[in-house]
Amino acid sequence: MKTTNLFKTLLLSAVLIVSGNCFAAECDHSDDFSISGVANYERNAGITSADGWQWYCCKHTANAAELSINGGKINSGSPYAGYIKSPVFSDGCSGINFLYRTTTCKSVKVEILQADTATWSVVFTPNAGTDIEVSIDTINIEGEFRLKISNLSDGGTGTAQLVFSIKNICITATPIVIPPHTYSLNVPKDATVFVGEKDQNVTVAGNYLKKHYVPFTEKTAVYIAETDTSKIWYYNVSKQHNYRVTRAGKAPHVGLFTPKAGTTVAIDTTLVFTDAQLSAHNAKDIDHDVNSLEGRNVADLFININAQGYLTLPLRADTAFQLIHTRNWQAIDTDVNNYFIEPDFHYTVVDENGNPNNDVITVNDKGLITPVGAGTAIVLVDYDAMLCRHTTNVVPRGTDVKTNPAFFSASWGENTAVFVMSVAQPEANVTTNMNLNAYWAQDGTDKTDGVAIDAEHDVLYFEADKGSFAYTFKPAGATQVLLATPIVSETATSYSGFRSDSVTANADGSYTVRLGFGRNIVKLVSATGATYQVITAKPVTYTVSNVTHPDEIFQPGDEVSVLFNTLYHPCNKMSGIYNMSAGIQYTGVETNFPLILGPGQYTFASRAQEYKVSIPADYEGDEFTLTNGVIKVKGFGSYYGEHRKITLQNGVAPNLNASVREAYFGALPDIHISMREDVVTPAQAIEVAETTINVYPNPFADYIIVNTQSAGNVTIYDLSGKAVLNVHLKNGNNRIDTSALPKGVYVLKQGLNTVKLVK
């Protein structure tokens, strides 16, 4: 790879004439000053040598390395006017280079003559008795020229001379030939370019396809040219490659390109990125609107840690663990091709108190975990935003993703990947018995870990106004249970240590942990050690309505609608691994949906998440209750949890013969439907519009984001009915500062829209 400076006006052609450090001597006469065979040449009115040099008032001794201009006076009191002229050169001049030394002459004048007219000149101030080297490479004279060097001394009776040594007296730019290439990227000078390809191929069902998850092999630029404001990276590639253009602190631009056969540098094979484009989004910019990206905006991630979210390593120099992670949703080109590009990932290692600490393990920028000391650490993984010019499946129909790239958010704070890693620690000898959905798994499940809680796939949803999910389990061998509750901001998760104040030890030996918003870490302590389990919990709101008799009290035989806001697909599409639909399931009515493009296969989080059930006609109770709420997932792919078996060496082949997999994930709140006239349910008391307003996060801390389809005032009330905050909203996303509000339950109202909030 070579680099050079280009002129301000860059000519995109097969051959570029450039200035810089690549010069060749047009003439070098430093060792040959003989003139027409004359051995000794004295001062003269002028003479022209056989090879075109002209001398006036000069002194030269044959075969000497130096020439004296005005080595003596012509007449006493007359001005000196010695000079030397070069032969005519025809290829232009880009620079000059010579040595000179003076005695008493005042200045040296250097001129470039074209048709005996000076078109460029410079005067140098002499430095008596010292050899001075002059080198200028920015002359840029085209066509025929001659070089003239003169001694501009005053008249006098003494000896005044310029001792002159010709050394590459005029140099021209060397033609720089850009090596063969088929594609180029023109980017600002401070940006970097990565071009890579998936170099592992596989034949599946007669189709020649690319493997997923293998690292991209970097393609080296054949040439990098530089202008005043940008760099042009040239690549010689003949098939599809991906690129990443990055500026520090900003969201990178990524995409795919396939050069046209037989092209060199032309407008259709050049990508140009401007300063404004690369500065459009910061690396940590967040889009928390699930309706973005055509309803596929979920900034989550999967990692190759087990369902427990806890790994152990011995303390050996040869032991390391390669972390493998993927954004979810993936930035795939299409729903069929599944060629995806990952964002830039970051790793934070903290101790059990949440303080940054690398005494136990280190994680390099490639995700390689190396043990360095005995102890336990918590690892947090997040990723940056990016702008994708290849994801045609997430832009409105008719949109050109190449000119209007899709914005993929940085990871949402609550979805920061979290796992615990112990190095050289004793066995805890604890059986956690932290299970879930045994009721639904009676006939089997396609979860790789059966009914054990899955740190990633299982999300335990709690009613927002309750503030936490109460999960009860009965471990064997544990003497104490502690909980690290996540502190969730817009962009990150953090911890402040393990505590017992959110844990209740029950009389039967079980424990109840109150799980907060995000990735909770449960620590089970025994007489010999400790083990850990990561559990994800999130708030949800819902409305219950009478479909058969709207706005009336429920009666036996009525159809009930339960509409949730917002649930997330527990096993989103993942190239070569998962391609599943999802739906809501409660005891009583089976949820069935088509395997392809079923409810919420790709847009589960953004669509209306509704569960309908009919109250039996012979029901006699005062309350009808929906229990064992889960999210049912069914579709084509691998067993749920197989993503943890991915290796960088083997990758994953496209799965064109996937089997049907079914499982039940997470937990939903029980729904209590009153059938008495004197009871008003929370859903009846608070009217919530389905699509006109969206508020998150909920529970919240220092801010909320309100997404509304209509501008207007919004008011937040406490439970006494007192208005505590009033803000004017614009159409779209609005960030509201709630840092001054005390912890508690609030009601947000905008017109007829009402949402319960918890701080």
pLDDT of residue 68: 66
Q: What is the mean pLDDT of residues 5-26?
A: 26
| Measured distance CA(91)–CA(144) in Å, rounded | 6
Per residue in 50-94, pLDDT (tens digit) is 566 777 776 655 445 556 666 544 444 445 567 778 777 777 777
**Token pair of 664 as six digits:** 């039940």
Least confident span in 111-125, 331-345, 374-388, 673-687: 673-687
Give the list of residues 6+ apart from residue 727 with CB closer than 8 angstroms, or none. Answer: 713, 714, 734, 736
Answer whether residue 528 shows pLDDT above 70: yes
| DSSP-based three-state secondary structure for 703 | strand
Answer whether residue 404 shows pLDDT above 60: yes
Which of residues 538, 573, 606 is at a domain's end? Answer: 538
User: Which residue would you say has higher pLDDT here, 39 or 751?
Assistant: 751
Mode of pairing for the β-strands spanning 108-114 and 117-124: antiparallel
Question: 668 with 744, same domain?
Answer: no
pLDDT of residue 169: 52
Q: Model confidence at 127, in pLDDT bands (50, 70, 90)?
A: low
pLDDT of residue 6: 27
Most confident of 59-68, 320-329, 613-622, 676-685: 320-329
- Cβ-defined contacts of 739-743 (< 8 Å, 24+): 739/701, 739/702, 739/703, 741/716
In terms of Cα–Cα distance, which of 140, 132, 126 is closest to 170?
140
CATH at residue 751 = 2.60.40.3080
pLDDT of residue 739: 85
Q: What is the mean pLDDT of residues 602-614?
A: 89
Which of residues 143, 173, 203 is at a domain's end? Answer: 173
| Measured distance CA(712)–CA(378) in Å, rounded | 44
What's the one-letter identity of residue 559? E
Q: Which range marks the domain in which residue 474 is found?
A: 440-538
DSSP for 302-334? EESS-TTSEEEE---TT--EE--EEEES-EES-
Q: Is residue 463 part of a domain?
A: yes
Beta bridge partners of 179: none
| Measured distance CA(273)–CA(278) in Å, rounded | 7
Give the list of residues 6+ apart from residue 366 with CB closer than 8 angstroms, or none. Answer: none
Phi, psi of 635 (to 5 degrees): 170, -165
Q: Which residue has the tokens 């000149």?
A: 121
Q: What is the mean pLDDT of residues 638-646?
A: 95
pLDDT of residue 685: 40
pLDDT of residue 120: 85
Q: Model confidence at 284, in pLDDT bands (50, 70, 90)?
A: very high
Q: Is residue 746 part of a domain?
A: yes
| Measured distance CA(727)–CA(752) in Å, rounded | 16
Q: Model confidence at 262, in pLDDT bands (50, 70, 90)?
A: low
Q: Which residue has the tokens 């404004």?
A: 276
Burial class (CB in 10 A: 0-12, 13-18, 19+), 178: buried
| 8 A C-beta contact, residue 615 and residue 624 | yes
Taking the CA atoms of the chain, what radius of gyration do you get in angstroms?
38
Question: 216 with 181, same domain?
Answer: yes
pLDDT of residue 475: 98
CA atoms within 13 A on the CB side of 627: 4
Q: Is residue 397 part of a domain?
A: no
- Rounded to the nearest integer, the mean pLDDT of the chain is 82
| 8 A C-beta contact, residue 727 and residue 714 | yes
Give the list of residues 6+ apart from residue 141 with CB closer than 8 angstroms, or none. Answer: 92, 93, 94, 112, 114, 119, 120
Answer whether residue 104 shows pLDDT above 70: no
| Measured distance CA(155)–CA(147) in Å, rounded | 24
Question: 534 with 658, same domain?
Answer: no
Answer whether residue 297 shows pLDDT above 70: yes
pLDDT of residue 598: 76
User: Which residue would you say has higher pLDDT here, 20 or 168?
Assistant: 168
**Token pair of 710 as six digits:** 């209509």
Percentage of the chain lying above the pLDDT 90 cut? 49
Q: Model confidence at 103, in pLDDT bands (50, 70, 90)?
A: low
Q: What is the mean pLDDT of residues 622-635?
A: 94
pLDDT of residue 226: 84
Q: What is the mean pLDDT of residues 292-297?
A: 94
Per residue in 557-571, pLDDT (tens digit) is 999 999 998 899 999
Question: 103 with 229, same domain?
Answer: no
Give the list of residues 6+ apart from residue 708 with CB closer than 8 angstroms, or none. Answer: 692, 693, 694, 714, 729, 731, 732, 734, 750, 753
Q: Is residue 404 part of a domain?
A: no
Answer whether residue 26 shows pLDDT above 50: no
In terms of Cα–Cα distance, which of 500, 480, 495 is closest to 376?
495
Mode of pairing for the β-strands spanning 23-27 and 40-41: unpaired
Per residue in 162-192, pLDDT (tens digit) is 565 544 455 555 556 788 888 899 999 999 9
User: Which residue would you say has higher pLDDT here, 654 or 663?
Assistant: 663
Helices and strands counted in the chain (H then E): 3, 62
Phi, psi of 271 (to 5 degrees): -105, 130
pLDDT of residue 654: 84
Question: 274 with 236, same domain?
Answer: yes
Q: Give the Å distances, CA to CA, from 148 to 14, 96, 103, 111.
A: 35, 11, 20, 5
pLDDT of residue 554: 94
| Measured distance CA(516)–CA(19) in Å, rounded | 64
pLDDT of residue 175: 52
Q: How far apart are the first and last CA of the chain?
A: 57
Question: 691 with 742, same domain?
Answer: yes
pLDDT of residue 109: 81
Question: 646 with 668, same domain?
Answer: yes
Question: 530 with 599, same domain?
Answer: no
Angle in degrees, CA 175, 179, 180, rounded to 5: 130
Question: 479 with 562, same domain?
Answer: no
CATH at residue 456 = 2.60.40
Q: Is residue 335 part of a domain?
A: no
Q: Is residue 133 part of a domain?
A: yes
Question: 567 with 676, same domain?
Answer: yes
Which of residues 140, 173, 206 is at a domain's end? Answer: 173
Q: HEC states along 29-56? A: CCCCCCECCECEECCCCCEECCCCCEEE
Answer whether residue 578 shows pLDDT above 90: yes
Centre a 10 Å sphere on the Cβ of residue 74 and count the other Cβ atoms it contains. Answer: 15
pLDDT of residue 164: 58
Give the list of residues 6+ apart from residue 294 with CB closer than 8 angstroms, or none. Answer: 393, 394, 395, 396, 603
Q: Is residue 348 part of a domain?
A: no
Per residue in 197-252, pLDDT (tens digit) is 887 676 655 565 778 998 889 999 999 988 778 999 999 888 889 999 999 999 99
Q: Is residue 322 part of a domain?
A: no
Per residue in 703-735, pLDDT (tens digit) is 888 888 777 778 888 876 777 887 888 877 888
| DSSP-based three-state secondary structure for 148 | strand
Answer whether residue 347 shows pLDDT above 90: yes
Answer whether residue 683 shows pLDDT above 80: no
CATH at residue 96 = 2.60.120.430
Overall domain count for the chain:
5
Query: Which ranges of 517-608 does DSSP label H, i.e. alpha helix?
Result: none
Question: 589 with 451, same domain?
Answer: no
List the 693-696 sheet strands across, edge first.
Answer: 693-696, 703-708, 732-737
In terms of Cα–Cα distance, which of 392, 387, 400 is closest to 287?
387
| 8 A C-beta contact, residue 373 and residue 436 | no
Question: 228 with 251, same domain?
Answer: yes
The count of residues in the chain is 759
